[in-house]
Amino acid sequence: MNASTSRKQQLLKRHRRNKRIGLMFALVVLVMSGVVVAWWLPLVLAVSGWVAHEAWFADHLFYSPKDDYQYSFPPFTQQPKVHLNAGRLRLDEGVMLDEGATLVLALRIKSNWLGRFIDPVVELSGGEHPDRQTFERGVNGLRYLNLSEQGDVLSRGELRLRGRFCRVQGEPTLWSFAAEEAKHRRVMVIAPHADDAELAAFGLYSRADDTWIVTLTAGEIEAEHYRKMGLDRIEAARLKGRLRAWDSIAVPRWAGVPQANCVQLGYFCLQLAAMQAAPGHPQGSREADLSDTRLFRQLNPFTLPGDADGAPTWNNLLADLRELIIRACPDVVVLPHPALDPHPDHVCAHDAVIQALEGLEWQPAVLLGYANHLHDNDRWPMGDAGAGVALPPYFDPIRPMHPISLPLGLAGQRDKAMALGMMHDLQPPAPFKRRLRRHIQRILAGRGGSPYGENEFFRKAVRRHELFWRL
């Protein structure tokens, strides 16, 4: 068990213990209020307590908001000297910033009492790209702002930082990472499931001259939405898998990716770890009663090694990936980051690409990692759709991280939102409890929804930055 997992387990145990104590205390209060005051008071208090929980205490954080984020960056990363005075951030005299660089500013953020109930925000103003970056309620620690669009205004000495429901404190530290150019390069995006490529990298891959989208699984499980149409469990899973296979091939066309460069490998959702554990042993679908991947590979523009027998094995997956890498010769491969994204299919997707590259005659120049699911905070990126993306919570200073932030303008955000809207898995309505929670949070906690769609990924992914990590 690593330190991150151990810390999360301790916090989870503490949370569960405090919750049990709180529930017991609340039960005593409810019983006493019913006996001493009035029979109807426990009902009022119970409803009020539930509403307060949904509004302010329902976030899932596997760390304390008072914990410092613990990043380290590669040796010799540029550190332009900056000073914060009366809310204005200034470079030292004579300091120059590289054009297009990813700029990360570390400083301490402390919420005020309202910041325990309304999300604390740091506003960036003074230039053509005003921004808002949001942090945890009750934050009181070291955090990392993304200033990547603010280089010009910072160079002019006009960048202002203002905390809402929080204060910025201490002497800030700035890091500058060289720009990563996607244009005029061959890019291959590895998507464990249909929509992962769009969530993480629509802006990046839509700007590349030559893009390949490779989706590893059909994503056929958890098909309850389709069972409501009268299908049984197996029929619903197969229909969902066929639809998501179609999405993985068709939706990238919205960004101009040729259909000939979109490939669906058709392996089965949440079975990659079992395949990896026994590389030669087939792992069938959990819900679709299938042990042949070829049902979900019919739209591919060419045959691959795994088409010979359709066996869902790790060896076939590696052979498919090697064939695709040799065919595409990508300069940049975009894949899940194993230290940030804990989804088992995402971790295995990363491992499969790394293993497939071993000894291969073509090697990409750059590997870029992404995180669509986060270890520590299920609301990250925090804040509203269209806002900036601050660096996520991270607590492993031994492993240096190299962030790459690519800007996405409003037109690109809208195109990305439309691409997500075409994905069938993001279309079903949210469960009633989740919709009710969002309504309560909108009224009591000031949290807004996304204008593009109901699914939470429309808020998380449609942002002014796409954040990657050079591996």
For residue 66, being part of any structural domain is answered with no
74 inside domain: no
Same domain, 163 and 193: no
Is 198 inside any structural domain?
yes
- Tally of structural domains, the chain: 3
CB 148 within 8 A of CB 101: yes
Do the domain assignments include residue 325?
Answer: yes
Looking at the fold, whether 296 and 412 belong to one and the same domain comes out as: yes
Do 297 and 196 fall within a single domain? yes
CATH number of the domain encompassing residue 102: 2.60.120
Residues 376, 413: one domain? Answer: yes
Please indicate, yes or no, if residue 70 is contained in any of the structural domains. no
Same domain? For 393 and 462 the reply is yes
- In sequence order, what are the beta bridge partners of 336? 370
Residues 335 and 411 grouped into a single domain:
yes
Could you tell me the residue range of the domain that residue 99 belongs to?
82-177
Is 165 within the bounds of a domain? yes
Q: Is residue 237 one of the residues assigned to a domain?
A: yes
Q: Which one of 177, 205, 237 terminates a domain?
A: 177
Q: CA nearest 171: which of 68, 89, 289, 259? A: 89
CATH number, residue 457:
3.40.50.10320
Q: Are residues 145 and 109 in the same domain?
A: yes
281 and 343 assigned to the same domain: yes
190 and 314 assigned to the same domain: yes
Cα separation, 47 vs 276, in Å, equals 48
Shared-domain flag, residues 262 and 338: yes
Report how far Cα 390 is from the mean position of its chain's Cα atoms. Answer: 12
Do 214 and 360 belong to one domain?
Answer: yes
Q: Are residues 255 and 364 in the same domain?
A: yes
What separation in angstroms does the CA of 390 have from each of 124, 154, 399?
Answer: 12, 17, 19
What span, in angstroms and rounded, lies between the C-alpha atoms of 347 and 350? 5
Residue 444: both structure tokens together: 């009591």
Residue written as tokens 């203002």? 162
Q: Is 69 contained in some domain?
A: no
pTM score > 0.75 for this model?
Answer: yes
Per-residue pLDDT of the chain (471 residues; tens, 9 = 90+): 445 555 556 666 766 677 677 667 766 665 666 666 666 676 777 788 888 888 988 888 888 999 999 999 999 999 999 999 999 999 998 889 999 999 999 999 999 999 999 999 999 999 899 999 999 999 999 999 999 999 999 999 999 999 999 999 989 999 999 987 777 799 999 999 999 999 999 999 999 999 999 999 999 999 999 999 999 999 999 999 999 999 999 999 999 999 999 999 999 999 999 999 999 999 999 999 999 999 999 999 999 999 999 999 999 999 999 999 999 999 999 999 999 999 999 999 999 999 999 999 999 999 999 999 997 898 999 999 999 999 999 999 999 999 999 999 999 999 999 999 999 999 999 899 899 999 999 999 999 889 999 999 999 999 999 999 999
